[in-house]
Amino acid sequence: EVQLLESGGNLVQPGGSLRLSCAASGFTFSSFAMSWVRQAPGEGLEWVSVISSSGGGTYYADSVKGRFTISRDNSKNTLYLQMNSLRAEDAAVYFCAKDQSNRFFDYWGQGTLVTVSS
Amino acid sequence: QSALTQPRSVSGSPGQSVSISCTGTSSNVGGYNYVSWYQQHPGKAPKLMIYDVNKRPSGVPDRFSGSKSGNTASLTISGLQAEDEAGYYCCSYAGSSTKLFGGGTKLTVL
């Protein structure tokens, strides 16, 4: 059974940093691209970033480019999102999702909440 | 890039059919056959319902179907059931390994 478990969400001040993690199990993690998708309170879904299976390719939404960094450790079956220079508009539930070759997301985690406030 | 355009809400009675549209451009919806649809109940993670425009994952009822014409994709739910009441989001590949979601549609089963 595929499982994705996010962690690391917290309350952080504007301008601060946070690192999210997503522990994967139930599939060959190193064979699949992975994405982060976020959802602000009461709002819709927004794709944030994707990383290739090897980690050699990373891509970002314009709204986070230059501030967020996606990475992965295939030896630990874990996906990461380093978030710097956080803004109020980054407040959201962050989901990790198994990415099927840029076509669709077939499995999602339950999400971790990031709150940005002073 | 701007989000794909979906109606904010749709509604239907049990047993009826409803369709939800998702309009983009030739740079996303119209340019690739990589449109997917997700169902999200309040407080839950999204669930894949349709991928590659019109394919259903195992376990998704055949009441759910997808289609595309030009820059607009559609999700149709036939034989509406109470448990179909949820938010629905379309998503399209938008080139350069990026993806774009629609703003979401709230389906109410009357």
Per-residue confidence in pLDDT tens, chain B, 110 aa? 788 999 999 999 999 999 999 999 999 999 999 999 999 999 999 999 999 999 999 999 999 999 999 999 999 999 999 999 999 999 999 999 999 999 999 999 99
Q: Does B58 touch chain A (CB under 8 A)?
A: no
Q: Which residue's entry shows tokens 């059931």? A: B81
User: Which tokens sit at B73?
Assistant: 């994709």
Within 8 A by CB and 6+ apart from B25, the residues are B31, B71
- C-alpha–C-alpha distance, residues B96 and A60, integer Å: 10
Burial of residue B67, with CB atoms counted within 10 A of its CB: 0-12 exposed, 13-18 middle, 19 or more buried: middle
Q: What is residue B2's predicted lDDT score, i.e. its pLDDT?
A: 81
pLDDT at B97: 92
Distance from the Cα of B69 to chain A's closest Cα (Å) equals 18
Q: Which pLDDT value is given to residue A61?
A: 96
pLDDT at residue A57, rounded to an integer: 95
Q: Tell how far CA A78 is from the center of its chain.
A: 11
What are A52's two structure tokens? 């290739």
CB-count exposure of residue A113 (10 Å: 0-12, 13-18, 19+): middle
Ranges in chain A, pLDDT < 50: none
Whether the Cβ atoms of residue B77 and residue B107 lie closer than 8 Å to each other: yes
Distance from CA of A55 to the nearest CA of B (A): 14
Chain B residues close to A2, C-beta within 8 Å: none
Q: In B2-110, where do the E strands start and end?
A: 9-12, 18-23, 35-40, 47-50, 64-69, 72-77, 86-93, 99-101, 105-109
> B104 to chain A: which residues are within 8 Å by CB?
44-45
Nearest CA-CA partner of B32 in B4, B65, B63, B64: B4
CB distance B47–A100 less than 8 Å? Answer: no
Predicted local confidence at residue B82, as pLDDT: 97
Left if phi > 0, otherwise alpha if psi is -120 to 50, otherwise beta: which for B41? Answer: beta
